[in-house]
Chains A and B, each alone.
Chain A
């Protein structure tokens, strides 16, 4: 028990290591505005959590360099939710009740956002996710917003594209993650609605790299297009490569995770002609997003998952700051302002929120791998 007492002492010391006592900020207008960040900073999903926090940090640094909000600087307090609901609740409770943050940026995994939402809702604090895509978030609460399009829209966009090409027989392999299952569900529904048929619809464990058995089966099936529904570019790239190895020349379409800077160079010939339905790309030469990409790369090197995730996180912070500039940091006032916040011009598109807090105005683009580069070929209408 004496040893446990030592742990107790250590725990108490750690617990006392707060940056500042809770509840002492607010009335003094010189105190920094606090933005809480919730995301997966460790674990399997840490790659996009890392991109998101780095994007958010760039936004905060820029605003602070511009003088902050009415002279108040902005600080960001990051909490690791490890892509789990339990940790997201702990993180939200700590950010809201101890750090007294004015707003929360997060979660990033949909499960994080859905778990943290009731906590933010009860405290009347706005919570805005940069990359959560689950359709469930649409009904998560009045204070819940996101700048990433719902998977429901992605399904509609893909169905429109397949329809325009006359594709009726769809083959798909999905990783068993919440993101991919969300996509799988909407694709299956959209395909059925448009009179198409899922002729091959397989689910694999997350992180699977060997698809040769499934591809051998797929080879005997008559299909128009193969949809790569992967959680990461490495698994999606493996699907494409192994399909091409077996000589299948059918069209391949991937989702956001194939929107990878390095995939065309690493996988080479196999990626040629592969199409990707994603949000528009950001590159260093892009007139709007270029400066952000350059700044991000200089500070943090290449994105771990996607520069676009970092850009979305960056813009989610900028939108929040824009609203705080107008109505201050009161939660209900921010919520109301966000619902009426239309046409915010950002590097990722024009951001408007619908009556559910879902973003409108982030377009989808169809891209294609050409000579190792991912080139935008057309915009896909969402309706």
Chain B
């Protein structure tokens, strides 16, 4: 049972951030490849504040403000740059932010990470933490579904389908992009707030490219822009990833073989959705 509680936490913990990124990347067709950059800033903001003040509310607030600030920069870039340039610069920003986190050792302890992250007393057991995270994830899915059908959802879709036409009918790209990036900032802060308490250690190794690749894979496999599709992909791919640990693989081959099998499956998943990777401009 505790393992399934753990899987429940892992799945629920992916949902708010990944569905929010899906609004930007999947629905808005904005090549934001720097979600891990936001994750780093938000996580370090939370943990450093928490360790120095002991206030969970203040830590969440600082994490959120940090995430909103960097998201505002990303949103501004998304308006100023062409999609391919945005993809490159957001990737570069992820690396830059990671480098700052690793090299600003007086603040972040660099490559050592920050162990001993405290937990709210309410979350003393993993079960409570996981169930709370699951409830938050369900509420986030409902919020995403609402957003999908809202005026905002229609406007971001319109911008993705035909930007010039959308602007001509009064849709503000900067406003819509800001909202989309701010939603991601909020989702990511919630995720960081829970995951740091769950892991009890903040380590830069957890923000490397494999985490971002998992984002993109789930969004592509689940159908970019689809709330329920991406949710299902998160559930299935997480179960698949963890399920590979149960394959009867000889001890000496455990790591590499799991990685190869998972890589092949991800490739197939992305191949299925290859047509939806790049935005299709609607002709009028």
- Complexed CA–CA distance, A17 and B113 (Å): 35
Q: Which of A57, A86, A134 contacts B206 (CB 8 A)?
A: A86
**When A15-B246, A19-B248 are in contact, do A4 and B229 touch as well, CB less than 8 Å?**
yes
- Complexed CA–CA distance, A18 and B251 (Å): 14
Q: Which of A8, A22, A93, A185 contacts B236 (CB 8 A)?
A: A8
Residues of chain A with a CB closer than 8 A to B111's CB: 176-178, 180-181
> Which segment, of B50-58, B78-86, B175-183, B253-261, faces chain A?
B253-261
Chain A residue nearest to B233 in the complex (CB): A4
State whether the Cβ of A41 lies closer than 8 Å to any Cβ in chain B. Answer: yes
Q: Are A96 and B115 in contact (CB under 8 A)?
A: no
Main SS at interface, chain B: helix
Q: Which of B199, B233, B256, B272 contacts A86 (CB 8 A)?
A: B199
State whether the Cβ of A14 lies closer than 8 Å to any Cβ in chain B. Answer: yes
Q: Which positions in B face A, CB cutoff 8 Å?
A: 1-3, 6, 10, 102-103, 105, 109-113, 115-116, 126, 195, 198-201, 203, 205-206, 208, 210, 221-222, 229, 232-233, 236-237, 239-240, 242-248, 251-252, 254-256, 258-259, 265, 269, 272
Chain B residue nearest to A110 in the complex (CB): B112
Main SS at interface, chain A: helix
**When A11-B243, A181-B112 are in contact, do A80 and B236 touch as well, CB less than 8 Å?**
no
Residues of chain B with a CB closer than 8 A to A10's CB: 240, 265
Q: Produce 1/0 per residue, A90-124, CB < 8 A to B.
A: 11011011100000000001110011001000110
**When A8-B236, A15-B246 are in contact, do A77 and B251 touch as well, CB less than 8 Å?**
yes
Residues of chain B with a CB closer than 8 A to A139's CB: 116
Residues of chain B with a CB closer than 8 A to A109's CB: 205
Q: Are A3 and B272 in contact (CB under 8 A)?
A: yes
Q: Are A97 and B2 in contact (CB under 8 A)?
A: yes
B209 to chain A, nearest CB (A): 11
**When A14-B246, A76-B251, A86-B199 are in contact, do A114 and B3 touch as well, CB less than 8 Å?**
no
State whether the Cβ of A46 lies closer than 8 Å to any Cβ in chain B. Answer: yes
- Complexed CA–CA distance, A82 and B208 (Å): 11
Range of interface residues on A (Cβ < 8 Å):
35 or more
Q: Are B105 and A14 in contact (CB under 8 A)?
A: no
Residues of chain B with a CB closer than 8 A to A91's CB: 245
- Complexed CA–CA distance, A355 and B41 (Å): 37
Q: Are A181 and B252 in contact (CB under 8 A)?
A: no
Q: Which positions in A face B, CB cutoff 8 Å?
A: 1, 3-4, 7-8, 10-12, 14-19, 22, 37, 40-42, 46, 49, 53-54, 57, 76-80, 82-86, 89-91, 93-94, 96-98, 109-111, 114-115, 118, 122-123, 134, 136, 139-140, 176-178, 180-182, 185, 203
Q: Which of A4, A15, A86, A114 contacts B221 (CB 8 A)?
A: A4
A160 to chain B, nearest CB (A): 24
Residues of chain A with a CB closer than 8 A to B103's CB: 176, 203
**When A4-B221, A97-B3 are in contact, do A111 and B251 touch as well, CB less than 8 Å?**
no
Determine which residue in B1, B111, B208, B240 has the highest number of CB atoms from chain A within 10 A of its CB, and name it: B111
**When A4-B229, A4-B232, A176-B103 are in contact, do A84 and B203 touch as well, CB less than 8 Å?**
yes
Q: Are A80 and B255 in contact (CB under 8 A)?
A: yes
Chain B residue nearest to A8 in the complex (CB): B236
Residues of chain B with a CB closer than 8 A to A3's CB: 272
Chain B residue nearest to A179 in the complex (CB): B111
B29 to chain A, nearest CB (A): 21
Residues of chain A with a CB closer than 8 A to B210's CB: 82
Q: Are B252 and A1 in contact (CB under 8 A)?
A: no
Chain A residue nearest to B113 in the complex (CB): A111
Provide a sorted-by-A list of 18 A–B residue pairs whose CB atoms are within 8 angstroms.
A3-B272, A4-B221, A4-B232, A7-B221, A10-B265, A42-B259, A53-B251, A78-B252, A80-B254, A82-B255, A84-B203, A86-B206, A96-B2, A111-B113, A111-B201, A176-B110, A178-B113, A181-B112
Chain B residue nearest to A9 in the complex (CB): B236
B170 to chain A, nearest CB (A): 35
Q: Which of B206, B229, B240, B259 contacts A84 (CB 8 A)?
A: B206
Q: Are B240 and A85 in contact (CB under 8 A)?
A: no
